[in-house]
Amino acid sequence: MNLTPNHKYKSKVVYMKKSLLVGINAKYIHSNLAIRYIQKYVQQNQNKEKNSILFKEFSINQDIEYILEEIMKTSADIIGFSCYLWNIEMIRRLSRNIKMIRPNVIIVYGGPEVTYTSVQEIESNTYVDIIVKGEGEKIFADILTHLDHLEKVKGITYRHQDKVIDQANGMGIDFSDVVFPYEPNLDHLEHRIIYYETSRGCPFNCQYCLSSVEKGVRFRPIEMVQKELQFFLDAKVPQVKLVDRTFNARREHAIAIMEYIIKKDQGLTNFHFEVAPELIDDDFLVCLSKARQGLFQLEIGVQSSNTKTLSIIQRKNDLEQIPQVVEKIKTLNNTHIHLDLIAGLPEENLSAFKNSFDYVYAMEPDQFQLGFLKILKGAGLFYVAKDYGIKYRDYPPYEVLSTHALPFEDVMELKVVEEMVENFYNSGLFNQTMRRLVNVYERPYNLYEALGRQWIDFGMHHVKHNKLDLYNFVYECILRLNVSDRMKEEYIDWLQMDYALNEKPKKQAEWMTMNFVESTLQRYLLEVLQEHHVWQEESGEYTTKQLSRMYHIDKIDNKNLLEALPLAHRIDARAREGEQGTYILINYGRRDFIHNNGEMVSINLG
């Protein structure tokens, strides 16, 4: 399509009424912040009589025919797509079909997947009319204003007659001009992650990340941020995930936000931040110490502990400082910590990666996120990938296949290790067991490598599994350990305990030896709890019979297990005839904020 003042459809522009913004998310629970920003900005800055703008959200897991039909039902004259590596192929297919149905529809692309290769994208795909480069709020509004004179719009690439015109980029928008995207309500977002940002840009220059392309950091005025945070708190949103690339890039800004959240905390909403550990100082930690358990989640991108690799990707990790900072945060016992690692970075072979793995594992993060390098268009590594022998998939998400240092076979091994970390570390289902099994091996990596080998040997990678399948798998792995039978029994006891801590064991495997506690003894144990003022809130709301169904109650004979159990209370009480011993009670209504395990109490009847 030639977008010129003399084009045959020029008269249509005068009467153009409707624009549609489309976000296609990776998962249903995600939400698209960009299209909401653009809609609000256009509504505030455009003549509503001339242009109306709405948005629709989908996920890549929905049927493409359904998405196409829903888009076409809007009868939009301009359709803008938010393009990312996970949705670009679907968007291209949709665009081709939209143009076949309605050739005069103007299709606009924007987003990181097309920003840095806009000329190639528009040359290769004749169904794309305009590409927005960079932040879309003002640019999209300018497109609507100057659709018949696109030469007036900065920051776009578009088709003019037989040529592709690439306009120079403009300045980034003043962040105070960006309209808060969620007011007046959070309709249709009840079960989705809410994304929000208080800054744009990043002070660092990591070569695998697109944030390094934009220089400088712009901050939203703190008064606006506080007002918008209050909106989330009043709405009792479960979680707000800040997409600031480095939340603590400016210490005063970060602390002011945290202090406000702590002051206004209603006990329900959780906030997730990505932080740079080298910028965490005593003032930040003092502020963090005032938060209730679970109010904040901190994500720290370690990425590698290999100094040569860190130099190449221009990341300045202080390898001594990071564990110290993590330990200080963990000591507060109120904040969920995520640590990230990237496999496939330049000059990091399998041996070096194992060192990085062990380095992160030793810090015992609450979530250990093992990802794989993606060669993003426009990022530094995109231009020098060949220098390091980086071969990557030629389709989204452009994930690494091999490097000079890491052959394909090693990448595949790490893929299995990643799955083992997700299943047996991050899931929270095996906390006690993994903490002990890791000591059997020379290094932490070897535990997950061994689990991965047996996962493949057992054919577990071919089918889906429920929780009990995973416990059965670990049981079989324990039986094959080169340790004494006594140690195997110890590990199996911990495996059973993990199973019980996660949920009430209504269904048990054949190897499980949980004890049945008869109803009369159950009632007596619950009376002991009341006498010692433990879990009184529940006891006032439910009958004894109901409580016994809500708790797991078991007799424990393993003294080593009893001494090491993560107990909230230890109670000594008088035994009745034939009931001597130690019993545990697990309350699933009270779960810890990190692993979601039930709270446990022991009662020793002697």
Of residues 13 and 498, more confidence is placed in 498
Tell me the pLDDT tens digit for each residue of 529-558.
999 999 988 777 788 888 888 899 999 988
Across residues 463-470, what is the average pLDDT? 90
Instruction: Name the band, by pLDDT with cuts 50, 70 and 90, for residue 15.
Output: very low
From the number of C-beta atoms within 10 Å of its C-beta (0-12, 13-18, 19+), residue 367 rates as middle
SS3 category, 27: coil
What pairing do the DSSP bridges indicate for beta strands 199-201 and 217-219? antiparallel
Instruction: Please state, in angstroms and rounded to a whole number, the distance separating the CA atoms of residues 281 and 254.
Output: 12
What's the order of all strands across the beta sheet hosting 581-591?
A: 551-556, 581-591, 598-605, 569-573
Res 291 pLDDT > 60: yes
Q: What is the pLDDT of residue 2?
A: 47
Res 5 pLDDT > 50: no
Q: What is the pLDDT of residue 143?
A: 94
8 Å CB contact between 213 and 379: yes
Q: What is the pLDDT of residue 49?
A: 56
Tell me the pLDDT tens digit for each residue of 157-201.
999 888 999 999 877 788 999 999 998 888 788 888 899 999 999
> Which region, left, alpha or beta, applies to residue 356 given φ > 0 means left and ψ of -120 to 50 means alpha?
alpha
Output the six-digit token pair for 86: 């996970």
Res 46 pLDDT > 80: no
Res 7 pLDDT > 70: no
Q: What is the pLDDT of residue 51?
A: 67
Angle between helices 222-234 and 251-264 (to 10 degrees): 30
Q: What is the pLDDT of residue 216?
A: 84
Across residues 220-245, what is the average pLDDT? 95
Output phi, psi for 428, to 5 deg: 75, 5
Of residues 49 and 497, more confidence is placed in 497
Proportion of the chain above pLDDT 70, given as a percent: 96
Proportion of the chain above pLDDT 90, given as a percent: 80
Q: What is the pLDDT of residue 212?
A: 77
Residue 559 makes CB contacts below 8 A (sequence gap 6+) with: none
Picking from 325, 262, 266, the residue whose alpha carbon sits closest to that of residue 290 is: 262
What is the pTM (predicted TM-score) of this model? 0.90
CA dihedral 320→326→328→332, nearest 10 degrees, is 180
Q: What is the pLDDT of residue 214?
A: 77
Q: b/e per residue, 574-588, with b = 16+ CB within 10 A?
A: eeeeebeebbbbbbb
Of residues 499 and 11, more confidence is placed in 499
Res 101 pLDDT > 80: yes
Count of other CB atoms within 10 angstroms of residue 412: 12
What's the order of all strands across the beta sheet hosting 156-160?
A: 52-59, 18-25, 78-82, 106-110, 130-132, 156-160, 163-166
8 Å CB contact between 227 and 192: no
Angle 367-370-376 (CA atoms, 0-180°, nearest 5)? 125
Instruction: Please state, in angstroms and rounded to a whole number, the distance separating the CA atoms of residues 290 and 251.
Output: 17
pLDDT, averaged across the chain: 92
Res 13 pLDDT > 70: no
Q: What is the pLDDT of residue 569?
A: 94
The three state secondary structure string of 233-262 is HHCCCCEEEECCCCCCCCHHHHHHHHHHHH
Residue 595 makes CB contacts below 8 A (sequence gap 6+) with: 366, 428, 431
Of residues 7 and 561, more confidence is placed in 561
Across residues 252-264, what is the average pLDDT? 98
Across residues 234-256, what is the average pLDDT? 95
Output phi, psi for 549, to 5 deg: -80, -25
Residue 447 makes CB contacts below 8 A (sequence gap 6+) with: 434, 437, 438, 440, 441
